[in-house]
Amino acid sequence: MDPFADKLLILGTVVMLATPAFGISEHGQLVMATGFTGWMAVVILGRELLVTSIRGVFESRGIDFSASFSGKAKMVVQSVAIPGCLLIAGIWGSQRPDWAGWAATLAAWGTTLVTAASAVPYITRAIRAGRPDQPQESP
């Protein structure tokens, strides 16, 4: 249940941070106080669903598909950046200093890129494990 709780916490927070409730008017245009936008939430959600599906399929076949270093690094980045973005929005909101806006944007972009990139090793492992010429582990 721990991986499920991690995903629910991270995904729920990212989706909420990308909602209009965190939008502020800056220089006459609407920007997200948290740095997260809707497309970023979709990328993060898509990665989590894809990797969870891949792991489920291969683990049901008895193939070890435990978390890789990239998945663990992704979780560390998310666990630091997401609360940081929430704090920036909560402390300053529409009165945030320029550096705080840049920090939130950088954290949101960094989280999105690291999350997307962390799917590559899982996809590569799945392709290798799915080839018929590869030995399959039995349960």
Q: Do 110 and 73 touch, CB atoms closer than 8 A? A: no
Q: Over its length of 139 residues, how does the chain's per-residue pLDDT go in tens digits?
A: 677 888 898 999 999 988 887 777 777 777 778 889 999 999 999 999 999 999 999 889 888 888 889 999 999 999 999 999 989 888 887 777 889 889 999 999 999 999 999 999 999 999 988 776 655 554 4
Burial of 111 (0-12, 13-18, 19+ CB in 10 A): buried
Q: What is the pTM of this model?
A: 0.82
**So where are the chain's domains?**
8-127
- Say what the pLDDT of residue 34 is: 87
Residue 113: predicted pLDDT: 97
Longest dimension (CA), the chain: 61
